[in-house]
């Protein structure tokens, strides 16, 4: 059995119409407050609610890290129509793939047709403190992810699955409450090899904004197309999601200041790699505070902001998820819902 193609949805998704989502910043807000913000995001016109899955947040001071699956279950019951998903879960270290399969199957049963699973190869910050392992190489993490995705799909489709893999085992394992419909799996990618794997095994790709244009045009998007071609799959049924870091406010000074708590995002990759303690990440982020805004679209002009956001749509991304950095998240949701979302929909 080819586990990579098991239980893959067929035909185009409804998301070919531009989907505009809100990133639930679970590192920044506790579960009850975040739940209220999710309700507000739906009310203000966001199409999806996407939550991070952290065991440790990016910072110790004022940090939070609620359990994503439990939180999504609550959101599903408090909202009516928004798509719900993770960005991203690593189904290979602190979670066995079978547990991820069971959790998402339950969510899909409670909110049919609304759930997707976003997966990635993991971060030391979230996995090492619990799995107590030496953090493996990117190549090994990708192999684990590939096997995990195949096993999740098999568990969603078949009964009493026995799997003897390189990294995971199951013995006559059965998910009794399977998803009522196919659940898309989106694969996060930061480089061409991961993007190619996303095209091979995923129903979509997840990338983040704020990088050089050439990364998207020359590496990530071509990589996903190579994977799609290798697997003989239809590119039109492949979702292209980008998390867009957007700091928009009527005050330019406030928009700039809102970025500062997220200074860790501006650290070079080598400064973040392998860090497992949020206190250490917070210490390192101090050196990047002056550059925190460089990973964000920062603007007080809605037309300017939409022009910069639109560049990602022009590249072919069809699911934009907005990470809004402000501590006054309700204000940001209101402003983006009023000034940005309608302009983007009109533009598309």
Tens-binned pLDDT, residue by residue, of the chain (348 aa): 333 333 333 333 344 689 999 999 999 999 999 999 999 999 999 999 999 999 999 889 999 999 999 999 999 999 999 999 999 999 989 999 999 999 999 999 999 999 999 999 999 889 999 988 889 999 999 999 999 999 999 999 999 999 999 999 999 999 999 999 999 999 999 999 999 999 999 999 999 999 999 999 999 999 999 999 999 999 999 999 999 999 999 999 999 999 988 888 888 888 888 788 989 999 998 888 878 888 999 999 999 999 999 999 999 999 999 999 999 999 999 999 999 999 999 987
Q: Which residues contact 290 (CB under 8 A, 6 or more apart)?
A: none
In a domain, 234, yes or no: yes
Apex CA 341: angle with CA 337 and CA 345, to 5°?
150
d(CA 115, CA 67): 16
In a domain, 63, yes or no: yes
Catalytic residue status for 123 = yes
In a domain, 5, yes or no: no
Strands (E), the chain: 19-24, 48-51, 83-86, 115-119, 161-164, 169-173, 185-188, 204-208, 239-248, 297-299, 319-323
In a domain, 309, yes or no: yes
d(CA 229, CA 241): 19
In a domain, 7, yes or no: no
In a domain, 3, yes or no: no
Cα–chain-centroid distance for residue 115? 13
15, 54, 56, 319: the catalytic one is: 54
Residue range of the domain that includes 139: 14-347
- Check which CATH number belongs to the domain holding 84 and give it: 3.20.20.30
Residue corresponding to tokens 């085992």: 169
Q: How many domains does the chain have?
A: 1
123, 127, 200, 243: the catalytic one is: 123
Q: Token digits for 247?
A: 């700091």
Say if pTM beats, i.e. exceeds, 0.85: yes
In a domain, 302, yes or no: yes
């Amino acid at each position: 059995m080819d586990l990579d193609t098991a239980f893959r949805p067929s035909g185009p998704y409804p998301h070919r119409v531009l989907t505009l989502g809100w990133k639930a910043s679970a590192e920044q807000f506790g579960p009850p407050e975040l739940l209220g913000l999710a309700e507000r995001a739906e009310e203000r016109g966001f199409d999806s609610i996407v939550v991070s899955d952290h065991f440790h947040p990016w910072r110790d001071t004022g940090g939070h890290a609620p359990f994503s699956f439990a939180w999504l279950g609550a959101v599903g019951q408090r909202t009516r129509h928004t798509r719900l998903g993770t960005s991203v879960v690593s189904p290979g270290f602190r979670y066995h793939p079978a547990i991820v399969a069971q959790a998402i199957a339950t969510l899909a049963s409670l909110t049919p047709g609304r759930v997707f699973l976003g997966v990635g190869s993991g971060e030391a910050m979230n996995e090492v403190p619990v799995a107590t392992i030496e953090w493996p190489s990117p190549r090994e993490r990708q192999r684990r992810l590939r096997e995990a995705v195949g096993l999740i799909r098999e568990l969603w489709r078949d009964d009493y699955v026995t799997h003897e893999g390189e990294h995971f085992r199951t013995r006559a394992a059965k998910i009794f409450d399977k998803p009522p419909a196919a659940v898309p799996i989106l694969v996060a990618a930061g480089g061409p090899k991961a993007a190619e794997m996303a095209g091979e095994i995923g129903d979509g790709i997840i990338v983040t904004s704020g990088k050089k244009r050439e990364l998207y045009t020359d590496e990530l998007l071509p990589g996903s197309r190579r994977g799609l071609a290798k697997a003989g799959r239809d590119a039109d049924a492949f979702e292209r999601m980008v998390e867009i870091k957007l700091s928009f406010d009527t005050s330019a000074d406030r928009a700039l200041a809102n970025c500062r708590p997220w200074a860790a995002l501006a650290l070079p990759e080598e400064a973040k790699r392998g860090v497992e303690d949020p206190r250490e990440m917070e210490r390192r982020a101090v050196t990047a505070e002056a550059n925190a805004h460089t990973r964000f679209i920062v603007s007080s002009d809605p037309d300017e902001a939409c022009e910069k956001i639109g560049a990602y749509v022009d590249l072919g991304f069809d699911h934009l998820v907005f990470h809004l950095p402000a501590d006054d998240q309700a204000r940001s949701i209101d402003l983006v819902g009023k000034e940005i979302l309608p302009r983007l929909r009109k533009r598309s």
